[in-house]
Amino acid sequence: MRAVIQRVLEAKVTVDGTVTGAIGRGFLILLGVRKGDTEKEAAFLAGKTARLRVFEDENEKMNLSLSDVGGDTLVVSQFTICADMKKGNRPSFDTAAPPAEAKRLYEYYIDALERNGLPRPKTGIFAADMQVSLVNDGPVTILFDTDNMAVK
């Protein structure tokens, strides 16, 4: 499972001209689910996301979590971050989970964020053609890849 987490001042996702999710200060999370991912990876990643300390404290050190600053989350499904670029110039998406499994784990991750004490995340619409806009804060962008982490 992969997540691109961007610290934002604001972000929103629009589908067919309608805003489906919008936040102020917080995290825009682009989430990609790969074949073989399970609830274990989703829960682990949600915990890491909830505890991620990238907001500045009174000493201007990135030492505060989303909960510490009262931030929100906007989670957008994005299978393209599962792209494999080992060969050629056209990305392969063979490692991305099938849509039904990806949607199930996307929803599990969203629920797990809430179980980790965050307010209910805002979302896009799974598998829709979405337009995402944001004001990146910093910019601060963190990439999580459960294949490179000690998932417990």
Burial letters for 20-43: b for 16+ Cβ neighbours within 10 Å, e otherwise? Answer: bbebebbbbbbbbbbeebeeebbb
Provide φ and ψ at 75, rounded to 5°: -110, 125
**pTM of the full predicted structure?**
0.95
Residue matched to tokens 């392969």: 92
> How many whole angstroms separate alpha carbon 146 and alpha carbon 126?
21
| Residue ranges of E strands in the chain | 2-15, 18-23, 26-32, 55-56, 62-64, 72-77, 122-123, 130-145
- Give tens-digit pLDDT for 73-112: 999 999 999 999 999 999 999 999 999 999 999 999 999 9
144 touches 2 (CB < 8 A): yes
* Structural domains of the chain, with CATH: 2-144 (3.50.80.10)
- Residue positions annotated with a catalytic role: 78-80
Contact partners, residue 17, CB within 8 Å, separation at least 6: none
- Give tens-digit pLDDT for 14-53: 999 999 999 999 999 999 999 999 999 999 999 999 999 9
